[in-house]
Structure 1
Amino acid sequence: MFKRILVTTDGSKLSQKAVTTAIALAAQHDANLVALNVIPRYPRDYFEGSMAFSVEDIGRVEKQWADKAQAMLDDVSSRAKESGVRIKTVTANSDLVAESIIAAAKKQKSDLIVMASHGRKGIKRLLLGSETQHVLTHSTVPVLVLR
């Protein structure tokens, strides 16, 4: 039924559940798995909420974030390979997480997105928005949300 499954991960406990489920689905359907981590870009000026840091400091922080993302994806890759699942890992550098997920699903020709619901409630959900909700309402690809 599924040929290519995109799973998003941020390293959280809930996203680990999504990864486990995506690996199991990929194994069950003999599908390829694409693991995605969206790396935020560092705020570049005061109006974006950052302190005044040098270009070198910003570069160092962004490298740390990229290294952390790669470590997460390497872990997902190891787990998938142990289950006999073919996997590709992808990172995206963007503050637009939901849009990056949707774009990656389209680019990778995924026929399912697996992701976690972060369970924001009340005013936080209204103020911060929900990346999962955005993906659900804007993706043309089916989305499986794990809670």
Structure 2
Amino acid sequence: MFKRILVATDGSTLSKKAVASAIALAAQNDADLVALNVVPRYPRSYFEGSMTFSPEDIGRVEKQWAEKAQAMLDTVSARAKESGVRVKTATANSDLVAESIIAAAKKHKSDLIVMASHGRKGIKRLLLGSETQHVLAHSALPVLVLR
């Protein structure tokens, strides 16, 4: 039924469950899997006027975030391969998580997006809104939401 499934992961416990379900679904459908992590940009504007960070410091932090994301995706890739699933990993560098997920699904010609019902916790979720809800509202593709 599905040929290419995109799974969005942020490394949270619930997101790991979504990854496991996406791998199982891909295996059942003999589908390819694309594992995506959206890496945020360093929040430069929050510190304007109060603290000064050099471009090197900012670059170092962003590199650490990218390396952490790649390590997480490498783990997903290994789990998928153990299940006999063809897998590709991708990262997007953006603060626009939902838009990045939708764009990646289009870019990789996915026919299903799998994601957790939420990943952010507490005040961040209240301030930023639900990325999952945004994907559900704006994606032309089917979205499987897991909790």
Q: Determine if the TM-score, normalized by the shorter chain, exceeds 0.5.
A: yes
Is 1:41 the equivalent of 2:41? yes
**Structure 2 contact 10–119 (Cα < 8 Å) conserved:** no
CA displacement, residues 48-86 of structure 1 (integer Å, 9 cap, x when unaligned):
798421111101100000000000000000000000000
- Where structure 2 has 5 or more consecutive residues not aligned to the other structure, the ranges are none
Distance 2:121 2:13 in 1: 18
Aligned residues: 147
> 1:67 aligned to 2:86?
no
For the Cα contact (< 8 Å) 1:15–1:116, is it kept in 2?
yes
**Cα deviations across residues 81-132 of structure 1 (Å, max 9, x unaligned)?**
0000000000000000000000000111100000001177998655321100
Per the TM alignment, residue 139 of structure 1 is displaced from its structure 2 partner at its CA by 0.2
TM-score, normalised to structure 2, is 0.92
* Separation (CA, whole Å) in 1 of partners of 2:9 and 2:48: 25
Amino acid at match of 1:17: K
Quick one: distance in 1 between partners of 2:121 and 2:54?
36
Q: Tell me the amino acid that sits aligned with residue 53 of structure 1.
A: F
Measured after TM superposition, the shift of residue 44 of structure 1 is 2.5
Query: Is contact 1:45–1:51 with CA below 8 Å preserved after alignment?
Result: no
What is the alpha-carbon distance in structure 1 between the residues aligned to residue 37 and residue 49 of structure 2?
A: 23
Judged with a 3 Å threshold, the aligned counterparts in structure 2 of structure 1 residues 49 and 114 are, in CA distance, closer, same or farther, namely farther
User: 1:43 touches 1:49 (CA, 8 Å); kept in 2?
Assistant: no
SS at match of 2:44: coil
Q: Distance in 1 between matches of 2:102 and 2:122?
A: 25
Q: Give the conservation status (yes or no) of the 8 Å contact 1:2–1:31.
A: yes
Aligned with 1:53: secondary structure?
coil
**Runs of 5+ unmatched residues, structure 1:** none
Q: How does 1:1-147 map to 2 (within 5 A)?
A: 1-46=1-46, 51-118=51-118, 125-147=125-147
For normalisation by structure 1, the TM-score amounts to: 0.92
Taking the aligned partners of 2:41 and 2:121, their CA distance within structure 1 comes to 26
The AA in structure 1 aligned to 2:75 is: D
